[in-house]
Structure 1
């Protein structure tokens, strides 16, 4: 077959291009890629609610044994985990989150993380406060949802001093009376006694400085932040409603430990609950309130940033995580 001169030229160019392409691919393949970075982004995420700026802070993670969940057969738990693509290898990876609230007048930290109480996978709150553009010295108020070590040990620096030296630390009266009681600690099972000591140690320098206080049910804390009693996980477990009941964000502490299981089955408790029946009742009540009111939710053990909404389903509830967004004034 004879080709016109133009066609021969095009064929030649195509062949030349193919050879050059092969050469370029060969050269690219032989060049080494940059070294993998092997670090994650800083653990903070901002959320706006009216004139409040909320910054979710990642303290780290702990692998919780799924057998700690009570109220369902193990096979049912595994089915729920698999449906949500939650791996249960050395336990279920469970986030520990804290929340920094800038009201314009106060810089309020809700929970302080675990510091060094539970190993190297936790203890990042201070680093992430700084990464988020704040200094620990600027925090003037710390509100504790409860006094378990993964929420209170972060009150101390690595040197055992006040990590938030200008802050007044607040806890519910019932939790303070329980966790700071020598009598209750002495009567507790031996395996639980270290938790009492960690709570006492964490607040000791604040007590010495006159910066630890407790509040009673119904007591006003500050404009724009209300305490919502949600006991059961601990005697004084407290959630905090930011904004207003019609447009609010509820920081609910340890109402949920496993999103794959407990939203679908709010009747499932966890071994750590002081009063499992009361913890279940508090969870069901808050699920109903949050779903009905449309509150945004911030959870200490929900996948970071732990922000989203509760949706009522035909059976049980579902977790709807927040969508990444810039801070928009029109939403």
Structure 2
């Protein structure tokens, strides 16, 4: 570029900067805060499938009492090292897979069961360009209210055209008339919520069970990761050489249980089995280097697992503006 031309352009830049400064000085009027977050959805490609992470919202959890296996003060100190304090703002995530032929939702959020800060999955699904009536299948990692509560709205099916798929052990434990959960007094409210969330689908013939490690629908496989609940299952989707494993509740949070895998949570029905499931999930994810989706990792909850000595670390996927 000739010097004269360069001077022309740089001179113009100086004029623009000067004009910008003038405009900035004249724009001093304040504006009210919106008080709203951006819609909670985020997309990645998995081969030619489109995966949409959907936020059901966030909720503050008392991690100093929720975590078990460490004294509360140790948990507080561990949180402080990561610039956090209890209660910890914790995500509730679900995942929609668009195969081009079907819309498959893994977990369904909380509905109205856990307060006004949650239950945002339907609005974020709409913001992402889909509607509840379009969902063909829902695979539940397990039947806890933050994964199954969103199946109903005012007692009616939120997803009226969807078939719900649940591990047989999980379904029998929570829903069977002689199910074990009904014999445990402390689970009474969870049993009631499970029945309320799934009864409309049972009545409509839209609840199906699958066996351990089975494929509830073509292209979606599962792995039993029992302990948190009896039929807690991870869901795997593979396409075009890419692999995504949707964990459910293998971990709660992004770091403490990676640093200390032996730490459990109060709602693990079998803590020892939950630890074993976590160890297996961590090792497999680190060895195979696939993408993991976590229900309670910071939204969008997508990342990979890395070995760090004898423990592990969570590495979030970098943000991409492209799908």
State which of 71, 74, 77 in structure 2 corresponds to 1:76. Answer: 74
TM-score (norm 2): 0.89
* Greater radius of gyration (CA): 1
Q: 1:130 maps to which residue?
A: 126
Is 1:61 the equivalent of 2:63?
no
Counting matched residue pairs gives 303
Q: Following the alignment from structure 1 to structure 2, what is the Cα–Cα distance between the partners of residues 325 and 267?
A: 33
Secondary structure, in 3 states, of the residue corresponding to 1:259?
A: coil
Secondary structure, in 3 states, of the residue corresponding to 2:255?
A: helix
Checking the alignment, whether the CA contact within 8 Å between 2:47 and 2:239 is kept in structure 1 is no
Checking the alignment, whether the CA contact within 8 Å between 1:53 and 1:101 is kept in structure 2 is yes
Q: 2:84 maps to which residue?
A: 86
State which of 44, 65, 72 in structure 1 corresponds to 2:41. Answer: 44
C-alpha RMSD of the superposition: 2.2
Please list every run of 5 or more consecutive structure 2 residues that lacks an aligned counterpart in the other structure. Answer: 1-18
Does 271-280 or 78-87 show the bigger shift?
78-87
Q: 1:185 to 1:292 in 2, by over 3 A?
A: closer
Secondary structure, in 3 states, of the residue corresponding to 1:154?
A: helix
Q: 2:9 maps to which residue?
A: none
Q: 2:281 maps to which residue?
A: 286
Q: Following the alignment from structure 1 to structure 2, what is the Cα–Cα distance between the partners of residues 204 and 26?
A: 59
Q: Following the alignment from structure 1 to structure 2, what is the Cα–Cα distance between the partners of residues 217 and 327?
A: 36
State which of 191, 197, 200 in structure 1 corresponds to 2:192. Answer: 197
Secondary structure, in 3 states, of the residue corresponding to 1:171?
A: strand
Q: 2:8 maps to which residue?
A: none
Secondary structure, in 3 states, of the residue corresponding to 1:263?
A: helix
Q: 1:192 to 1:275 in 2, by over 3 A?
A: same
Q: Cα deviation per residue 1:115-173 (whole Å; 9 max; x = unaligned)? A: 1001101100111111100011110000000000111010002x221110010000000
Please list every run of 5 or more consecutive structure 1 residues that lacks an aligned counterpart in the other structure. Answer: 1-20
Alignment of 1:102-251 (within 5 A): 102-157=98-153, 159-183=154-178, 184-189=180-185, 191-243=186-238, 247-251=242-246
Runs of 4+ with deviation above 4 angstroms: 24-29
Checking the alignment, whether the CA contact within 8 Å between 1:258 and 1:301 is kept in structure 2 is yes
Checking the alignment, whether the CA contact within 8 Å between 1:81 and 1:260 is kept in structure 2 is no
Q: Following the alignment from structure 1 to structure 2, what is the Cα–Cα distance between the partners of residues 26 and 226?
A: 56
